[in-house]
Amino acid sequence: MAFRLTITDTRHPDFSYQCGFIQGQIAIGRAQICDLCLPDLTVCPMHAEIRLQGHHYTLVDLSSQNGTLVASRKLIPHRPTKLASNDEITIAHYRIVFESGTHPSAIGKQAIGQCAHDLLHRRLAHQGHLAHVTPTLLGLSGPGRGARFTFVQTGDSATMGRTRHNAIPLDDPEVTSAHAAVQWQDDGQLMVRDLGSRNGTWCNGERCDSFALVPGLTFAVGQTTFGLEDPVAAALQDIQLAPHEATVPFVPDIPTPAPHATDANDAETAPASPATPDDDHVAPPPAAPSPVATLPTGVTEPSLDVPGTRDSQAPQHDNDAAPKEESDIGLILVGTAIIVMLVLFLIWFLG
């Protein structure tokens, strides 16, 4: 059974991407191994799965930190929930519409990877992170793979060749000492020029003396292939390789309720200031505040000594307690005297 997912970043709802699948189970998350990569740290590396069970698909949340919703209902982790066509899945900032039995419009690893790239590119561009990115020349394959040169300002030039004085030295017998140069011109273009090399500089399978280097275009110097580094691809890799502990808590944007609108007629008839009551309608005096309401913030209400909580007879009980204590002391003294007299009498009688 085939199904299609339409992915929309709710921060940029004007753009959506469709991916098709024919396998019985797909993993959704931010990790590189996921079948559907959502490039955001609010998504767990392995967030959820869509599984084929019998004749229908189910969605399973994999104990994700920020949860998974279907039709605004949060899923219980590891409990499969049946999916119906046109169900809406929500994972952090992403809204995903599930369509079962539809012909996939885009399918395969390349299409899935392009989806993650385009989603992240749209967000970075909208946030202005790509506006001031300077181009970087990158060795993609061959002896110079991994070599990088970042252009700082217009007019900068990077030469490549076999000698060490080049910005990009290449240990390649097919490369001459000064083979080619790339310059960032004032009009913003990167121009590649062959410097009269023996084996030439090749672009799109053709030997070229000079050409403009644009994103996606590659050229060969000897056995090394060069191209422009994609800043989105680098950012995407950082997100995909981030550990589970790097997951950021997601707090959905809850719209603030609008204030209660006052009726127009009430607004017109309401007095601008409190009216002075007449003799027949005197307003009652305001009620005395509760003792609890007057307590300072952070102070708990005492259980016994709050003014006004004891009845009027309480002081009399305190006054009656004093004579009772005096009578008890007198009885103790009398008892002590009797005991002393008995002891003295026994000493005299026995002596």
**pLDDT on residue 111:** 62
- pLDDT of 116-126, one tens digit each? 988 998 899 88
Pick the more confident residue, 29 or 275: 29
Report whether pLDDT(6) > 70: yes
- pLDDT of 255-278, one tens digit each? 555 555 444 444 444 444 444 434
pLDDT band, residue 279 (cuts 50/70/90) = very low
Query: In percent, how much of the chain has pLDDT > 90?
Result: 50
Mean pLDDT of the chain: 80
**pLDDT on residue 283:** 43
- pLDDT of 178-235, one tens digit each? 999 999 998 888 999 999 999 999 998 899 999 999 888 999 999 999 999 888 988 9
**pLDDT on residue 149:** 93
pLDDT mean over 30-54: 95
Report whether pLDDT(28) > 80: yes
Torsions phi, psi of 332, nearest 5?
-65, -45
